[in-house]
């Protein structure tokens, strides 16, 4: 817990205000418990976001977006995080068994009760984002304010349908995996061993998806782009996301205070329209 305390302290000291977690993170509940313990009186100074919907038991019963489960899940999350409210409560993934109207009505009730301030979604395809928007509008319910999805210099699939949809509906994007699982940190080298403890060493399938010939080629061109300007890949990855109008905040993990400091500093680079066009030419 002490290592996590240093990271949380560093984040707050550097002005980070959004803390995003989920009920299933940390072996089902561990992340929320730790955050509740570490924030203490500082809870009121930050935006606390969590998610529900993933499996929370081995039987596969505690999951999804049903009214009954949402009420159970939010109470458990509030208790773990030692708080009376969650600022942003997000459906972690689509639930094919529950009508979106049922999910939205339950979440709307939580907003009216003051247990949740805003609601969001995660990993929903664009048609479901649109379906949820119009369902909420038609029924007079609070709709999703944000959407989480993978988005980075190397993974730009969201630009095809999801980003146009959430832009049209006035929602914000919270991109995760901004560093493409570490490839944009500059720490990985083609045809070289992975750094010890690197996430890719534990996730073979993900490594196969990310460490492709095309991505290596793009990364090397981006590295040259950065080097010519006295910047790093890390700075480019965050600054490019910050320059996208639809992006509200960036979900970035950190295990050390130094990583927090580097991530915060990284977003300071104000890219020019010409630079953004050059980056597009490399990554699209």
Of the candidates 25, 118, 133, 151, the residue annotated as catalytic is 25
Nearest to 63 by CA among 91, 100, 104, 35: 91
CA distances from 177 to 111, 275, 278 (A): 29, 22, 22
Angstrom CA distances, 43 to 17, 38, 141, 216, 224, stand at 10, 9, 27, 41, 42
DSSP 155: -
Q: Cα–Cα distance between 92 and 53 in angstroms, integer? A: 5
233's CB contacts (< 8 A; 6+ apart) are 184, 185, 186, 219, 222, 223, 226
**Does residue 118 carry a catalytic annotation?**
no
Close Cβ partners of 284 (under 8 Å, ≥ 6 residues apart): 156
Catalytic residues: 25
């Amino acid at each position: 817990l002490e290592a996590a305390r240093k990271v949380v302290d560093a984040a707050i000291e550097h002005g980070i205000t959004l803390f995003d977690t989920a009920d299933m993170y940390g072996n089902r509940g561990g992340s929320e418990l730790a955050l509740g313990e570490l924030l203490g009186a500082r809870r009121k100074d930050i935006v606390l976001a969590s998610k529900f919907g993933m499996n929370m038991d081995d039987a596969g019963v505690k999951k999804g977006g049903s009214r009954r489960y949402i009420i159970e899940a939010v109470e458990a999350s509030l208790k773990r995080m030692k708080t009376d409210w969650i600022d942003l409560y997000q459906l972690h993934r689509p639930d094919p068994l529950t009508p979106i109207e049922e999910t939205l009505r339950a979440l709307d009730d939580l907003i009216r009760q003051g247990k949740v301030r805003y609601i969001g979604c995660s990993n929903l395809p664009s048609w479901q984002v649109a379906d949820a928007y119009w369902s909420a509008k038609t029924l007079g319910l609070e709709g999703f304010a944000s959407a989480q999805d993978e988005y980075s210099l190397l993974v730009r699939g969201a630009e095809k349908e999801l980003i146009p949809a959430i832009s049209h509906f006035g929602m914000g994007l919270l991109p995760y995996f901004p560093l493409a699982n570490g490839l944009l940190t500059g720490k990985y080298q083609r045809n070289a061993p992975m750094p010890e403890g690197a996430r890719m060493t534990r996730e073979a399938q993900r490594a196969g998806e990310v460490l492709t010939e095309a991505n290596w080629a793009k990364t090397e061109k981006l590295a040259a782009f950065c080097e010519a300007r006295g910047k790093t890949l890390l700075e480019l990855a965050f600054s490019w996301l910050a320059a996208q109008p639809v992006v509200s905040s960036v979900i970035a993990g950190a295990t050390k205070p130094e990583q927090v400091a580097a991530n915060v500093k990284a977003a300071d680079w104000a890219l020019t329209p010409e630079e953004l066009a050059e980056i597009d030419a490399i990554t699209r």
